[in-house]
């Protein structure tokens, strides 16, 4: 049975308690999952388990119904790479149940360029701060390198598959050419990999995501996370985005329906000082 980490009632193995108002979870060593977009029986039983959506920080319309949007997640490492899995319940899949409508703010939203919106669609975002100090100033977000980053896995578009195929896309700050190039290199070389597939029921999707410490988790200049470093703290945030029909998001930026965040404030959630904590434990629980 997976180790549970639910906000406010964490287990000793996982925990998702709040220290100074910010959530904390642990990742332990377990078996290596297969990235195929399927949560196979037993595959994630040795991972820390958490839930989200309703009760997380809402950027747009608050989520009030688990049938509308709910997230079930897992996290672990295998001694070499860090892994996340997400099973998202979603009653309407953008671009599958709906037309691929565009936001008024950007008719180029689906272009796979720096002008596009990588997060426009049903999606998960992972944000990491590899060098948290607790002294991060307000307004400072990800640098776009191994020290701190923000990446997107979209259900219906990706760098490797193009529009119509889910997977990884370059996240923020995509306006920075250096960050854009770094993110694209990670995707193309397999330093980061993710698979996204709709559920057979059509009422949601699964994302399985692998992060290679070298080059993605640079805890000190030239030093990348490994279990040999012992218990290691990283800054972490997670977002789940839900587009739905355009009229459902009327009044929200991009007509987004929901965007729920594990940690932080509605407008500051991408600032490094808003992240929660992921503790990488060197061995199994």
What pLDDT score does 204 carry?
98
Residue among 181, 167, 283, 278 at smallest CA distance from 229: 283
Distance of CA 10 to the CA centre of its chain: 20
Whether pLDDT at 185 is above 80: yes
Residue with tokens 């400072």: 140
Residue with tokens 């049903």: 122
How many other CB atoms are there within 10 angstroms of residue 215's CB atom?
A: 15
Quote the CA–CA distance of 167 and 208 in Å, as a whole number: 10
Whether pLDDT at 102 is above 70: yes
Which of 16-25, 88-97, 140-149 has the weakest average pLDDT? 16-25
Domain parsing of the chain, residue ranges: 3-280
Question: Average pLDDT of 12-27?
Answer: 69
Residue % of the chain over a pLDDT of 90: 93
Quote the CA–CA distance of 68 and 245 in Å, as a whole number: 12
Whether pLDDT at 154 is above 90: yes
Summary mean pLDDT of the chain: 94
**E strand intervals along the chain:** 3-4, 18-19, 22-27, 48-52, 57-58, 69-77, 82-90, 123-129, 148-154, 157-158, 162-163, 167-169, 192-198, 204-211, 218-220, 223-224, 232-242, 258-261, 276-280
What pLDDT score does 9 carry?
32
Whether pLDDT at 20 is above 60: no
Tokens for 76?
């672990």
What pLDDT score does 32 carry?
98
Whether pLDDT at 281 is above 60: yes
What pLDDT score does 14 carry?
53
Whether pLDDT at 159 is above 90: yes
Decide which of 6 and 70 is more confident: 70
Tokens for 30?
């377990």
What pLDDT score does 26 carry?
98
Sequence-ordered list of residues with C-beta below 8 angstroms from that of 224, at least 6 positions apart, any chain? 146, 213, 214, 215, 217, 218
Q: pLDDT per residue over 251-278, tens digit each? A: 999 999 999 999 999 999 999 999 999 9
Whether pLDDT at 174 is above 50: yes
Whether pLDDT at 18 is above 70: no
Whether pLDDT at 190 is above 60: yes
Question: Average pLDDT of 71-97?
Answer: 98
Q: How confident is the model at residue 17 (pLDDT cuts 50, 70, 90)?
A: low
**What topology does CATH give the domain 3-280?**
Immunoglobulin-like (2.60.40)
Whether pLDDT at 13 is above 90: no
| Number of helices and strands in the chain (H, E) | 2, 19
Question: Average pLDDT of 204-220?
Answer: 98
What pLDDT score does 21 carry?
79
Confirm if 155 and 121 have CB atoms less than 8 A apart.
yes
- In degrees, to the nearest 5, what angle opens at C-alpha 88 toward C-alphas 116 and 28? 100
**E strand intervals along 8-120:** 18-19, 22-27, 48-52, 57-58, 69-77, 82-90
């Amino acid at each position: 049975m997976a180790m549970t980490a639910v906000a406010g009632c964490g287990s000793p193995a996982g925990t998702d308690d709040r220290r100074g108002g910010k959530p904390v979870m642990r990742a332990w060593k377990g078996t290596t999952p297969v990235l195929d977009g399927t949560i196979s029986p037993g595959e994630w039983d040795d991972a820390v388990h958490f839930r989200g959506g309703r009760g997380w920080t809402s950027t747009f319309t608050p989520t009030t119904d688990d049938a509308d949007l709910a997230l079930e997640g897992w996290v672990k490492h295998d001694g070499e790479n860090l892994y996340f899995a997400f099973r998202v319940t979603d009653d309407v899949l953008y671009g599958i149940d709906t037309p691929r409508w565009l936001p008024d703010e950007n008719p180029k939203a689906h272009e796979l360029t720096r002008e596009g919106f990588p997060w426009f669609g049903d999606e998960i975002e992972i944000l990491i701060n590899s060098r948290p100090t607790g002294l991060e100033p307000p307004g400072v977000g990800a640098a776009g390198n191994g020290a701190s980053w923000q990446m997107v896995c979209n259900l219906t578009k990706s760098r490797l598959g193009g529009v119509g195929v889910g997977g990884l896309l370059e996240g923020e700050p995509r306006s920075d050419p250096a960050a854009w190039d770094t993110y694209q290199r990670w995707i193309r070389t397999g330093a980061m990999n993710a698979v996204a597939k709709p559920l057979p029921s059509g009422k949601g999707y699964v994302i399985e995501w692998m992060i290679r410490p070298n080059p993605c988790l640079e805890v000190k200049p030239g030093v990348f996370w490994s279990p040999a470093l012992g218990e290691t703290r990283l800054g972490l945030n997670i977002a789940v985005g839900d587009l739905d029909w355009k009229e459902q998001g009327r009044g929200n930026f991009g007509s987004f329906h929901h965007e729920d965040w594990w940690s932080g404030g509605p407008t500051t959630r991408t600032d490094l000082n808003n992240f929660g904590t992921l503790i990488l434990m060197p061995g199994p629980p």
